[in-house]
Structure 1
């Protein structure tokens, strides 16, 4: 076999199974992850005090690894709050309203615009940025609110978030867990994101057209109540900026982010460097808009918006930290969290398991692809999409070590499956932003998304088998 599997390896496998079981039962996995870290630490060191300390050390390690991701998302959300409060988002999106003349144009225009904005702002803030402006236009040309919600949901929380090419939060998590460079995972995810996105959105479009034609999808379908949503209510803001100022900022912001993208290509910026560029630009935008809009109160409002952003960031990533801490134990994080206690000749717990598995079970790329899709689906059931992708990356590393190839593709496949399920397209409690802005029932939205997303996952898994 070439490597000795010890109690550490079996405890790690056991807790992976526990985590999957708890996710299937829709229970929180934080306690399980902490117990796993403690048990692995005490087995490795034999020291009670050292094992208790390892829990805290593992959290520090995970937060350190994730800090740039948490920070950039917090800043982007803070910036989006300023755009919503000042009405700049209305001006940014309103020119696109003139292109929406039919239900089909409404679906594709809203979807593609949502995807592009979500690459830079993340989907939940993007919903607030554009939903209130384009929803009435779409309804006026005959696309029901449920169809608008599906378009925003599938293109934003599906395509944009599963690839996450600009902010790179998702590939950072999966790449770290799989022990791969971020750029490799992003490159491998491009064909999978394209296939998944195309199959799902086209299928959803034809189902919407069919149901509109036979009367199953009408303006009243899925409507939650008759009151405006909270996000729509927020859009009626005070006139803090003149129309010319709003137009200036509405033009400046896309130009600045376009310059960021150009700089990424020209300077070959990836991972942390790309994240830092987007984050710095977002801070700059936040500052100038807040000072221009709030004038004398600009200093205090800047802090207020940042606090809102950080609250959002840590609320989203709070459940991720213990899970990521556990899965970092499977690779290079073990030595930094616990110490040099791995068996002699070990290449890390996950790599050891992969080598051991390869010597016992003849694994194929087909089995690996199906398993990673299943793991992604299961881990997405918690409604986060992000809390389980470390597990997907870790298992992808394990299978790639066993098969001998395809680490980046398997990692990307697990990431795509987890985020499409849990990031906001199927799990009802993850659908709330799009459902709220469109004033539709989240469970009805999930039911409508089920068939397109399922077909997309099947096709994408088959494509991945050929890419491994």
Structure 2
């Protein structure tokens, strides 16, 4: 029958439900998580001072676990900032403008380039890299601005971010919460990511073409892309010849990273370190070539901008991750050895109890994880709640007896597609801003394609478990 549930188990379960409830009502969950950590610590230790220390220790543990992910995203954003400032991104993207001859080609070219760039540069910086160059070309051949925004949004913040195959920030979070190797979650997510991506982007394209034929965008004016004079002056720091050579070197280095990860079978932390180290090397190289004597100060400034971005994104994630780490491997390091002797962790114990109390199956598990993932995305982050998705998938997989990696990947995909920047209006701002469209209108147009994708992906997951 497993371990008998104690007050620790019931407190943890209560706060999981509270976190879901607060997310449904679009309220921030950081305070709830911190109260939950405190109550778990005080219940386990019966010491006020130990409980107060436990809250702080949980933050240290979470930051320690998340630091490689925060660091790699920060340095990649810093690197992308140099690419933009030096004008090298224009050189890297401009050759693809020859493929943009019709609205259809514009949609798919922008989307696929956005997906590839987002795998290496993260979606928000990738929008800046691609949007400024390709948007005017796309509009010139007849693609509405909302169509370009949809392509960048669905392929970048949807397909690329939900899988996150290269940087592996998302699968690291969910895998740790589910108690699985990162490689298992990445492998399980591949078919689901592509099913979700294919269904969503094709549905969006069909609906966009239908509305274009109806003339809904006929009155749309060509966007005036405002160019920052300071940015244009910065882009003149390198000659066109130098930009081409540096763009080629960057592309080769990134492709070598991919080849090395495949040949050496690097995953998780090792893959992250390789990508991060390459980004730092590129940052230094470009800064020296572009800024010369001022490169010492400029490198520091770019890194500061990167870290500001990284901690802004992960700031809300830290208290939430800290709470969910207590459900598995983090309880003893954070609070101490206060669990029952036969316990295998709070989430494992709850999963066993759930299996005995409720007849679960693969179908119920898949639908539940999609719902949990979508709910966690309602805060507009996509990342703040995927630890919850990993924790719940762990619980359900224990109860069902199979499908841990598939359920974890499904929850991750649902959370990021909803909250990572395709449905929640305030998460759509980067794509909407660069295309000059209303983020609420972009969210409205994404709703049917993303919903269709989630339904089909959930069904596929049932067969893969």
Q: Is the Cα–Cα contact under 8 Å of residues 132 and 225 in structure 2 kept in the other structure?
A: no
Q: Unpaired runs of 5+ in structure 1?
A: none
Inter-partner Cα distance in structure 1 for 2:246 and 2:54: 48
Q: Is the Cα–Cα contact under 8 Å of residues 383 and 422 in structure 1 kept in the other structure?
A: yes
TM alignment of 1:279-294, pairs within 5 A: 279-294=276-291
Inter-partner Cα distance in structure 2 for 1:2 and 1:274: 38
How has the CA–CA distance of structure 1 residues 235 and 400 changed in structure 2, closer, same or farther, with 3 Å as cutoff? farther
How has the CA–CA distance of structure 1 residues 302 and 430 changed in structure 2, closer, same or farther, with 3 Å as cutoff? same
Deviation (angstroms), 1:2:
1.7
Match of 2:302 in 1: 305
Inter-partner Cα distance in structure 2 for 1:339 and 1:219: 65
Give the secondary structure class of the aligned counterpart of 1:384: coil
The size of the alignment, in residue pairs, is: 465
Work out whether 1:242 is the aligned partner of 2:239: yes
Give the secondary structure class of the aligned counterpart of 2:237: coil
Deviation (angstroms), 1:232:
11
Deviation (angstroms), 1:229:
5.6
Match of 2:378 in 1: 381
TM alignment of 1:17-416, pairs within 5 A: 17-218=17-218, 220=220, 228=225, 234=231, 237-416=234-413
Inter-partner Cα distance in structure 2 for 1:160 and 1:183: 17
Q: Is the Cα–Cα contact under 8 Å of residues 229 and 437 in structure 1 kept in the other structure?
A: no
Q: Is the Cα–Cα contact under 8 Å of residues 369 and 413 in structure 1 kept in the other structure?
A: yes
How has the CA–CA distance of structure 1 residues 322 and 218 changed in structure 2, closer, same or farther, with 3 Å as cutoff? farther
Work out whether 1:431 is the aligned partner of 2:442: no
Deviation (angstroms), 1:218:
3.7
Q: What do residues 292-312 of structure 1 show as CA deviations (whole Å, max 9, x unaligned)?
A: 100110001000000000000
How has the CA–CA distance of structure 1 residues 354 and 275 changed in structure 2, closer, same or farther, with 3 Å as cutoff? same
- Superposed CA RMSD in Å reads 1.4
Inter-partner Cα distance in structure 1 for 2:226 and 2:180: 42
TM-score, normalised relative to structure 1: 0.98
TM-score, normalised relative to structure 2: 0.98
Inter-partner Cα distance in structure 2 for 1:217 and 1:406: 45
Inter-partner Cα distance in structure 2 for 1:235 and 1:131: 16
Deviation (angstroms), 1:254:
1.1
Give the secondary structure class of the aligned counterpart of 2:364: helix
Inter-partner Cα distance in structure 2 for 1:391 and 1:405: 19
Inter-partner Cα distance in structure 2 for 1:382 and 1:233: 35
Deviation (angstroms), 1:344:
1.5
Give the secondary structure class of the aligned counterpart of 1:239: helix
How has the CA–CA distance of structure 1 residues 236 and 125 changed in structure 2, closer, same or farther, with 3 Å as cutoff? farther
Q: Is the Cα–Cα contact under 8 Å of residues 58 and 326 in structure 1 kept in the other structure?
A: yes
Q: What do residues 209-241 of structure 1 show as CA deviations (whole Å, max 9, x unaligned)?
A: 0000011234628x9xx7646889956744110
Q: Is the Cα–Cα contact under 8 Å of residues 111 and 155 in structure 1 kept in the other structure?
A: yes
Match of 1:5 in 2: 5
